[in-house]
Amino acid sequence: MSNRYELPPVDFGSDLVRYAFEIERLRGNLGGGTTPARTLTELHALFRVVMSVISARIEGNRTTVYDALADIPAVASGRPATSDSLREITNILAGIDFIDTTDPARPLTHVLIRELHRITVDGLHREGDRTPGEYRANEVSINGSAHTPPSHVYVHAEMSELLDFANRDMPTHEQMLHAAIAHHRFVWIHPFTNGNGRVSRLFTYAMLRRNGFDSVPGYRAVNPTAVFGNDRDGYYAALEAADDLSPTGTVAWCEFFVRGLRHDLERLVQMQDFAFVMDELIDPAIDRLTTSGAATAAESAALKIAVRHGVVKAGDLEPALPGSPSQRSVTIRSLVERGILVHDERGPRFYRVSLARAPLGQFVIRQLDALGYLPRILKDDEPSGPA
């Protein structure tokens, strides 16, 4: 294996080492909080949409996260995407789903990488590829970059070397550097004619799952895309700095990656505190929903009860929805029809709040923005309606 896949020498007192140790401390705190796994799963579903929008936004897609939340359920139900931009986002979501249903212990392979590419570019025009799921058979250049990727003749061999590196078993304190270097080397190889950025971010997400971030329920939301979306220009500059494959450039890139991931983990650890999640995120989002006119005060009170219970039956909502059972059923049916409540898998008489769908999901996003949780790349997004 070439020396481009050796971890660079790092000064023990450097910021990179400090960030790596902080990540391990934060990772040790995952899974020990008070937020129910069901609520974390709902938030993960919401974060999946956010990450997909960010990945597409990095490539120039201007679909807002609010529009994506409103439109994605229709696509999921079988309707065709209304635009190429929306399809790009739903393709990235499909890539995340594909990774999430793959055993994280399985090696990363050529087949997996090519399938991620096929999923990512499927049916696209502006951001598609004439040979989905196939490594490039032509020479390419990268817009705005001085780096010239290897000739297509060497792509398969280069990817084999990268995958050998990506599948190494690494000690815990080196796993973040491992993922960072693999991400850069993927982009450096540029194995596809188009879609390399989107696939590289999915590939790195798969690496993080292999490195232990899939072991705690609800924490699949650890996704490097948030790091890149928080500073798009810095992302490209840090990648460019590593293109000469020097230890100095590689360390600079790794520091960018690890610093951003540590920041994202800090916020995820905070999501373990159910009191924080309710008081600072979900209750204010429900209040925003009510202020917008999308829910009544009684419905808002019922939703707050439902979130705290996790799963409810109609009788559990009586304190917020007094009156006859039939009146309560009418209100519940209305909430279900609007996508605010959904049926739980336990049966048709069990309900839970949907945090990951419009309209409530859009207000959760607004509250995440107010808390400073949204990457800067989404800061200019505005919902179509009042928020």
Residue of 117, 178, 183, 190 with catalytic role: 190
Listing DSSP states for 330-370 in one string gives HHHHHHHHTTSEEE-TT-TT-EEE-SSSTTHHHHHHHHHHH
Catalytic annotation on 173? no
- Which of 222, 231, 307, 230 is closest to 266 using CA atoms? 222
SS3 321: coil
- Which of 64, 70, 36, 30 is closest to 50 using CA atoms? 64
Is residue 236 annotated as involved in ligand binding? yes
Burial code (b: 16+ CB inside 10 Å, e: under 16) for 96-128 equals bebbeebebeeebeeebbbbbbbbbbbebeebb
Residue with tokens 């080397």: 185
Is residue 66 annotated as involved in ligand binding? no
Distance from the Cα of residue 134 to its chain's centroid: 25
Instruction: Please state, in angstroms and rounded to a whole number, the distance separating the CA atoms of residues 92 and 201.
Output: 10
- Residues labelled as active-site residues: 190
Residues belonging to the binding site are 235-236
Residues belonging to the binding site for ATP are 235-236
